[in-house]
Structure 1
């Protein structure tokens, strides 16, 4: 459980949101592939698949492409989070909601 929590905190940082409130993005497996390539102990096919399913419900294709970069480069997440750009702020709010939901659903 601790390694799952650590993985999701590093990758998803978040606050609660109802998963049924967003339409599916049908973006394929962008997040799942990035998750599987990460070198974290908690990585597994079922976990990465679950995270992808949540992403498909909550994030656009563009959001998923950006979020997938965080698996390779966690510093990019910090850069986006601290950015003054309105688009980054809006993305970060969606991403935090996604992270909380994935953390709750993918245990």
Structure 2
């Protein structure tokens, strides 16, 4: 069992930073066409997302990178669900901006 855990941990490290541990926000950020989207910045933003958004909210927010119009639709939506998500998303964005500035 001890050898299995050691091998599993080493496997994670061999995959690299863009591999198995990347969250949906980090993956979407890195794949975006934004020139300032560095691994360090995307990883930082993803770390803030993990502490402020649920996993399903992270996946939803990640779609905004490839479909900015979807963000606009959610922002303009009149549903309680979308409005609640948008408030959490805005709070996430403000935290990410403060925490990740300069990376």
Q: TM-score, normalised by structure 2?
A: 0.76
Task: Measure, in 2, the Cα distance between the counterparts of 1:57 and 1:81.
Answer: 22
Select which of 30, 33, 39 maps to 1:39: 33
Asked if 1:70 corresponds to 2:64, the answer is: yes
Q: Following TM superposition, where does structure 1 have runs of at least 4 consecutive aligned residues deviating by more than 2 angstroms?
A: none
Number of aligned positions between the proteins: 81
Long gaps (5+) in structure 2: 1-20
Task: Measure, in 1, the Cα distance between the counterparts of 2:89 and 2:72.
Answer: 12
RMSD, aligned α-carbons: 1.2
Q: Counterpart in 1 of 2:90?
A: 96
Q: TM-score, normalised by structure 1?
A: 0.73
Higher Cα radius of gyration = 2
Asked if 1:51 corresponds to 2:45, the answer is: yes
1:61-99 CA-to-partner distances (Å, cap 9, x unmatched) read: 111011000000101000000011110000000000000
Long gaps (5+) in structure 1: 1-26
1:32-67 CA-to-partner distances (Å, cap 9, x unmatched) read: 000000001111000000000000000001110110
Shift of 1:28: 5.4
Higher relative contact order (CA 8 A, sep 6+): 1
